[in-house]
Amino acid sequence: MKIGVLGGTGPAGSAVSARLASVGVEVLLGSRTLEKATEVVDGLTKRWSGHDLSLVPATNEMAARADLVVLATPVEGAVNTVRTLVDELSGKILVSMVNAMVKWGDRFVPLMPYTGSVALALSRVVPATHVAGAFHHLPAGQLGDPDHQLDADVMVFSDLRSVTDEVIGMIDLVPGLRGIDVGGLGSALAVEALTACLVEVNRRYKTHASLRVTGIV
């Protein structure tokens, strides 16, 4: 399977790209400019030396032609990025890892889009695309560190069980990660909002917290 990452040059997108490429997934790392994608891929190839990464620099448009596409832009760029790729994304799975939060005073708090969640906003813009969500709670620093042994669950949501299962299958390729089905797009608000709590945990305890769900055998 070939995966495309929109906004793949940031900490989150580059970490997801490198981690998936490290387990044999072919990844098109996307950017608004091919030059920036090329620079980031060069950097990742050096950082992950010793790993045979199948990582190719791409524009977002090229990345959107992959079989499955991950959206890793900031919230303010999410809808407009996807809006320009309606045709490329048609019939495919789009996995949003976009969180919505703002700094309110000295605290991070969830931002509630008027659509209810970022994922629901995306699903309105690309109605012929299966919008899913994953990776919201994984700290990019750890995900992108080849020496870090991951140990986390990844909450996955979509409105189709088969879509969720496909995303979970991709996540489960990565040692130390386990994908968990947390429901449909109606769960997106809770998943996206929870990140603000984790950021506060990180600030309070000076750590990089992620999540494990207990009780699943």
Residues engaged in binding ligand NAP (CB under 6 A): 7, 9-13, 31-32, 36, 72-77, 81, 97-99, 135-136, 138-140
Burial of 1 from C-beta contacts in 10 A (0-12 / 13-18 / 19+): middle
Find the shortest distance in angstroms from Cβ 217 to ligand NAP: 27
Short-list 111, 68, 63, 56, CA closest to 84: 63
Of 73 and 117, the one with the shorter C-beta distance to ligand NAP is: 73
SS3 percent helix, strand, coil of the chain, rounded to 5, is 40, 20, 40
Find the shortest distance in angstroms from Cβ 76 to ligand NAP: 5
Of 76 and 161, the one with the shorter C-beta distance to ligand NAP is: 76
Tokens 């010793």 map to which residue?
A: 50
Find the shortest distance in angstroms from Cβ 43 to ligand NAP: 12
Of 52 and 76, the one with the shorter C-beta distance to ligand NAP is: 76
Of 43 and 161, the one with the shorter C-beta distance to ligand NAP is: 43
Find the shortest distance in angstroms from Cβ 90 to ligand NAP: 20
